[in-house]
Amino acid sequence: MSASLDPDRPEARPDLRSLPLDHLTALVASLGERPFRARQLLRWLQQKGAASLDELTDVPRALRAALAERTTLTTLERATEQRSVDGTIKWTWRTHDGKLIESVYLPETDRRTLCVSSQAGCAVGCTFCLTGTMGLARNLTPGEIVDQVHRANRRIVELGEGEGPRPLTNLVFMGMGEPLANYRSLKIALDLLLAEDGPNFSHRHVTVSTSGLVPVMRKLGEETPVKLAVSLNATTDAQRDAIMPINRRYPLAQLLDACRSFPVRNGRRITFEYVLLGGVNDSLEDAARLAGLVRGIPTKVNLIPYNANPGLPFHAPAPERVAAFQEALVARNLTAVVRKNRGRDISAACGQLAAEGGPGDPRRAQSLTGLPVAG
């Protein structure tokens, strides 16, 4: 068994929350325990979301002591909780080394969705996104990714908003970070979240969003069954180069080829997120080009009207422009939904997650865009 699954701390003691079943099996064997203990540990850590080894009441005390000596256990500390008038809740979590990351809870009548972070900060640097202004602090470990889900589940039950052990129904990887830039941790986290002995999320209810890391999109499609969302936001390379620097490396043609070859399961579609930036990408010509770009791809378009932000050089399109853009897509037989701006009053909308500055960071009070929720 490798010492650690944390690529940034290979020397570290293994983090129990980051370990898949085969690693847990090797670990318990190395401690002279029978194999069934591995599945028992997995259930405690990933199904019940145990916050400490003390909770593992049917695991022998001696084994718990050996685990405490040989391993660590990721449990995020809740630093802040902000509730929106629309029911959205944003949590800031503190990691073991003091990084602040955020998750956003979006309750709806038919689902309870958590928007999950994959990195502390982000290196992609989209010019309309507050997380992009932070730079990358570090990748999250698998344990830190899945523990956002466990802490949220427990908190939702505590708040009386759902029943345990897993009130969340849907997950979207659209929080802080580019998930595919942390693919190793993401893949382990997805396996844990979909595991029958874990929270057992349906792959139909888990969506990973990317800004367009083309080579890793292929891996995601080949190695996981989850749904794909692509943050598109432009219809020409010149436009996209200007607002999403990743486009200079993987231009639109390559990105859309990767979407065409993505193994979309029966009846599924790829979600294209499109933040409407007033005067930048919201013309009817853009709508026509967008329809052309996605031709041949089973597509759903999420239109996300941008919210004006004095800190960044963009403005919101007029509502009638948003409506005209949507109509132009629908007229071309595309499914296009205008997303509600959820959690704007608590800076929980897409592109607003910038916890590194802490609760006093003035950026936290600024509104950017609406959070796209996978449908």
Active site members: 102, 350
Pick the piece of the chain touching ligand SF4 (CB under 6 A) from 61-69, 122-130, 197-205, 360-368.
122-130
- Smallest distance from the beta carbon of 126 to ligand SF4, in angstroms? 3
The answer to whether 374 touches 337, Cβ cutoff 8 Å, is no
Nearest residue (CB) to ligand SF4, 121 versus 167: 121
Cis peptide before 362 (omega within 30 of 0): no
Of positions 132, 143, 370, 372, contacts ligand SF4 by CB under 6 A: 132
In the region spanning residues 201 to 220, those forming contacts with ligand SF4, defined by CB under 6 A, are 211
Report the distance separating Cα 180 and Cα 172, nearest Å.
13
- Smallest distance from the beta carbon of 178 to ligand SF4, in angstroms? 4
Of positions 42, 45, 106, 129, contacts ligand SF4 by CB under 6 A: 129
Nearest residue (CB) to ligand SF4, 124 versus 259: 124
Burial class (CB in 10 A: 0-12, 13-18, 19+), 36: exposed
Of positions 27, 122, 168, 322, contacts ligand SF4 by CB under 6 A: 122
- Smallest distance from the beta carbon of 211 to ligand SF4, in angstroms? 4
Q: Looking at the chain, how many residues does it have?
A: 375
Token pair for 55: 């909770």
- Phi first, then psi: give them for residue 124, nearest 5 degrees: -70, -35
178 is a contact residue toward ligand SF4 (CB under 6 A):
yes
- Smallest distance from the beta carbon of 36 to ligand SF4, in angstroms? 41
Nearest residue (CB) to ligand SF4, 27 versus 100: 100
Q: Which long-range CB contacts under 8 A does 87-94 form with residues at least 24 apart?
A: 88/342, 88/343, 88/346, 88/348, 89/155, 89/348, 90/343, 90/346, 90/347, 90/348, 91/148, 91/151, 91/152, 91/155, 92/355, 92/359, 93/147, 93/148, 93/151
Residues with Cβ within 8 Å of residue 15, at least 6 apart in sequence = 4, 5, 6, 71, 72, 73, 74, 141, 142, 143
134 is a contact residue toward ligand SF4 (CB under 6 A):
no
Of positions 131, 307, 347, 352, contacts ligand SF4 by CB under 6 A: 131
Pick the piece of the chain touching ligand SF4 (CB under 6 A) from 8-16, 84-92, 147-155, 176-184.
176-184
126 is a contact residue toward ligand SF4 (CB under 6 A):
yes
228 is a contact residue toward ligand SF4 (CB under 6 A):
no
> Which ranges of 4-60 would DSSP assign to H, the alpha helix?
21-30, 36-42
Of positions 351, 354, 363, 374, contacts ligand SF4 by CB under 6 A: 351
The answer to whether 305 touches 369, Cβ cutoff 8 Å, is yes
Of positions 124, 188, 287, 303, contacts ligand SF4 by CB under 6 A: 124
Could you give the 3-state DSSP secondary structure of residue 207?
Answer: strand
Token pair for 211: 């800004």
Chain residues binding ligand SF4 by CB under 6 A are 122, 124-126, 129, 131-132, 176-178, 211, 231, 351
